[in-house]
Amino acid sequence: MFSSRCFLAAVCVASGLAPAVLTAASGKEYFVPFTPETVSIGYFPRDKAPVLTVPSGATVRIDGGGGARWGTGDPDAWLKENGVTTTVAESPGLAETVRVLKEVKRIDGVSTGHLLVGPIAVEGAEPGDSLEVRILSVVPRIPFGTVSTLPGKGGIPDLVPRPWTRVVMIDLKRNVGIFEPGVEVPLAPFMGVMGTLPPESDGPIRRSSAPGVFGGNLDCKELVAGTTLFLPVFSKGGLFFTGDSHGAQGDGEVTVSALETANTCTLQFIVHKGKTLKAPRAETPTHFITFGLDPDLNKAMRMAITETNDFLGELKGYDFFRAFTLSSLAVDFRVTQVVDGTVGIHGMIPKKLFVQDKFSYWAEPSVPVVASAP
């Protein structure tokens, strides 16, 4: 019998450490609004004080922003031109995004990028620990999203002739994005960026565009409600950031964007003392997930394979040959995204392979990914 924390317990077994003791949430839900004070644009600030400090086990609701591509123009004119009947004044998510873009403090050399909320500090987290992030819900909070690309960007950068943006209306009641009449994209909202503060070795100014061993801009479509993300901790408190709200995305994110919108996410944070990870990992009701990250897709694949082999060794005591063989037989290695400078591969390890093992988990396979709008 494996505990609900078997993904970290495998690390404990390998290191000889006792399983982590989880701190239950007190029932209080904390909240971080989307304001110029809670947001940083395009980078992870090393000198920013936590916008919130919570105990391990706490649940936090976080408002994100984004979704519009109006630049310095008139937001309401842009909305009207693109068929959005909602005005800025009628949408808190849009109004907050307009305010943040006007008032947020920027730094030299970083004028654009992801709208990141944070940092959120979790008491007890220290370098060498792991931070478990349970994704309880992710809900769009504006009625549309955008998909865009630019010449020189995306998975086929040499073939993009001009800048291009398409607005996709969101129907929360039916859980779809309306691509065009007769074509609807199922919603699967997630946060493209979720990570701890990057290690100091990443430099004094770490842009948010590329993911890393700290997580960040993973752009992994599996990180929806009901999934757990495990992140290495490099700073006291962990210092968690999130942003880059997505309504839906295909593996690859080939244009350089998903359905870019504004989400409210609710997350639970749990510290695992002394449980050191080399890279992010994730878990769903049905799969374990490993990640490979590198500017070279072949090297990202190599990392994903070795992370998978290592995990199978931790979980089942497999040597290299048994782990590598099972990886080839039964693990799906998917292209996460190819557009962030550092590209990604994620390995999907089915729990059903282990027919004699019982894995308990906090979420059911049928967990909804969209609830009623806040």
Q: Which amino acid is at 176?
A: V
Strands 29-32 and 59-63: parallel
Asked whether the beta carbons of 179 and 289 are under 8 A apart, the reply is: no
For the chain, the helix, strand and coil percentages under 3-state DSSP, each to the nearest 5: 20, 35, 50
* Alpha carbons 291 and 242: distance in angstroms, whole number: 18
Model pLDDT, residue 2: 37
**How far is residue 39's CA from residue 245's CA, in Å, rounded to a whole number?**
13
Q: What's 14's DSSP letter? A: H
Phi, psi of 89 (to 5 degrees): -65, -25
Q: What's the pTM?
A: 0.91
Compute φ and ψ for 157, nearest 5 degrees.
Answer: -60, -30
pLDDT score for 19: 35
CA distance 200 to 344: 22
**Cα–Cα distance, 123 to 52 (Å, whole number):** 11
Length of the chain: 374
Q: What is the model's pLDDT at position 21?
A: 33
- Phi/psi of residue 195, each to 5°? -165, 165
Element spanning 141, H or E: none
Q: Is the bond preceding residue 119 a cis peptide, omega within 30 degrees?
A: yes
Q: Side chain identity at 106, as an amino acid letter?
A: R
Q: Are 85 and 54 in contact (CB under 8 A)?
A: no
Q: What is the mean pLDDT of each run of 10 residues along the chain (374 residues)?
A: 48 37 58 97 96 98 86 84 92 93 88 93 98 97 93 92 93 95 97 97 93 97 98 98 97 95 97 96 98 98 98 97 98 96 97 95 70 43
pLDDT for res 270: 98
- CATH architecture assignment, domain 6-278: Sandwich (2.60)
Name the residue ranges covered by the structural domains of the chain: 6-278
Within 8 A by CB and 6+ apart from 156, the residues are: 254
Contacts of 309 (CB under 8 A, 6+ apart): 318, 320, 323, 324, 327
Residues 6+ apart with CB under 8 A from 70: 77, 78, 79
